[in-house]
Structure 1
Amino acid sequence: MTSSENGSEQGPVIRDKRKIDPETGQARKTAAEQGQEKKDEQPGGGAQAASAPADAQIADLLAERTADLQRVQAEFSNYRKRVERDKALVREQAVGGVLYELLPVLDDIGRAREHGELVGGFAKVAELLESTLTKLGLSAYGKKGEPFDPTVHEALAHSYSPDVTEPTCVEILQLGYRYGERILRPARVAVAEPPPEPAPEAPSGAPEGGEAGRPDAAEPGDAAASPADTEPGAPSGEQN
């Protein structure tokens, strides 16, 4: 039996030591690098131990950035609300100023209507103006017989009347106007209030005054004689 038949002889061994993989075209890793990768892949390896502090740092940074974003968002929301409030206030002041300047025109229209002079095209223009101002929020107030309120009324005349039980507007001298909750001009009115109650009368049996009504007042003739009125030598009393 030959040695080749016993398997003592082996064929040639070919080792591929090329650094570039011909199939992928990428550089091959050395044995040391492959061993390090195996260690990193094991549970509790160096890669996981090194990544734990990095993950904690990333989590802290994420929480910090999230808090900053929430704070900026809240500040922007407050800024937007403040801007909208300021815009509404500026608009209200501007419209209120224009409406206030038009009040004399409305007074003239009211007087013309009372005298029957509001006719023709002038009447249509006046109605259009009044409707437009009403849409903008202007409203007139002041009616005869309503209670007097010093916060919205201005009293130009005062009188007493038994027909009222409280201070009452008995005549509207000039209408008042308000824009929303803002008083542009108070209503000028004449006010009447109940007459004052009469002073209570004195009792009929009571004295009118002076010392005549005092019980201890002495009559003019009942005055006791003074020592100066006693005659000289007259005894002042009985002697024993």
Structure 2
Amino acid sequence: MTDKDFEENEVPGEEGSAAEAAGPAPQEGTDAENGEELTVDDILGTQQNADAAAEDAKIADLESALLNDLKRLQAEYANYRRRTEEQREREIERAKGEVAKGLLPVLDDLDRAAKHGDLEEGTPFAQIAEKLRSVAERIGVSAYGEAGEVFDPQQHEAIFQAPTPGVEVPTVLEVVEVGYRLGSVELRPAKVVVAVPAE
């Protein structure tokens, strides 16, 4: 058999059909799913998108942290203002209390003068007494303690106890010295004689 015969006996198209069946070899830098060719710009763009997403996440975390810091500072400032206001109110009350305590002996003298008839209406002394009492009222000083009240050891200071028939509960029999308050603060308890039940 000659070479010519051998060439004639070869199955025509066998090589071509195997190559065709395998299809074209995939080219470097192509997308395997849709066969589109990827460029350097596509690869860089994907990386940039990932970097941008990471940067956005960092910014969101920073914004959240700053917002929390701002809320904390606002709460601290509100607490500071409240404490400062409370302290200011206490200082005002303390200052008023000092003034009021200085007025108490004068108010006691005015009460004694009124009991002895020395504060006749229309006299200069009565007018001065009225002005002093109005000043005391204006700063919030109020007197308490009257005969007939139920004895309260939180408000009254008993200087004497008098057993009295017919009395069922301790009662103020006589007020020796009037008590004074400044708002809700007690400046001085009322000194009283207490009627107690007789045994």
The aligned counterpart of 1:80 is 81
Partner of 2:152: 149
Matched residue type, 2:75: A
| Structure 2: distance between partners of 1:144 and 1:185 | 17
SS in structure 1 at match of 2:97: helix
**Aligned partners of 2:64, 2:172: CA distance in 1, in Å?**
68
Secondary structure of 1:150 counterpart: coil
1:165 is displaced (CA, Å) by: 1.1
Of structures 1 and 2, the one with the larger relative CO (CA 8 A, separation 6+) is 2
Q: TM-score, with normalisation over the residues of structure 1?
A: 0.62
Count of aligned pairs between the two proteins? 159
Q: Does 1:137 align with 2:145?
A: no
Deviation by residue 1:14-65 (Cα, 9 ceiling, x = unmatched): xxxxxxxxxxxxxxxxxxxxx98x759xxx7443222111100100110111
Q: 1:126 aligns with which of 126, 129, 132?
A: 129
Aligned partners of 1:158 and 1:58: how far apart in 2?
79
**Inter-partner Cα distance in structure 2 for 1:192 and 1:111:** 23
Matched letter for residue 189 of structure 1? V
What is the Cα deviation at residue 91 of structure 1?
1.1
Partner of 1:89 in structure 2? 90
Q: Secondary structure at the match of 2:117?
A: coil
Structure 1 vs Structure 2 CA RMSD: 2.0
When Rg is computed on C-alpha atoms for both structures, the one with the higher figure is 1
- Post-superposition offset of 1:129: 1.5
| Aligned partner of residue 172 in structure 1, secondary structure | strand
Give the distance between the partners of 1:159 and 1:130, measured in 2 at CA: 32
Task: Work out whether 1:194 is the aligned partner of 2:197.
Answer: yes
**Which structure 2 residues correspond to residues 1-240 of structure 1 after superposition, within 5 A?**
39=42, 45-119=46-120, 120-196=123-199
Identity of aligned residues (%): 46
* Cα distance in structure 1, aligned partners of 2:155 and 2:174: 15
Between the aligned partners of 2:173 and 2:162, the Cα distance in structure 1 is: 9
* 1:121-177 C-alpha deviation (Å, 9 max, x unpaired): 221121122112112111100111111111111111221111311111111111110
Displacement over 6 Å in runs of 4+? none
The AA in structure 1 aligned to 2:55 is A
SS in 1 for 2:109: helix
Provide structure 2 residue ranges, at least 5 long, that are not aligned to the other structure: 1-38
Q: Distance in 2 between matches of 1:188 and 1:63?
A: 64
**What does the per-residue CA deviation read over 1:83-138, in whole Å, with 9 as the maximum and x for residues that have no partner?**
11111111111111110111000011111111121141221121122112112111
- Gaps in structure 1 of 5+ consecutive residues: 1-34, 197-240
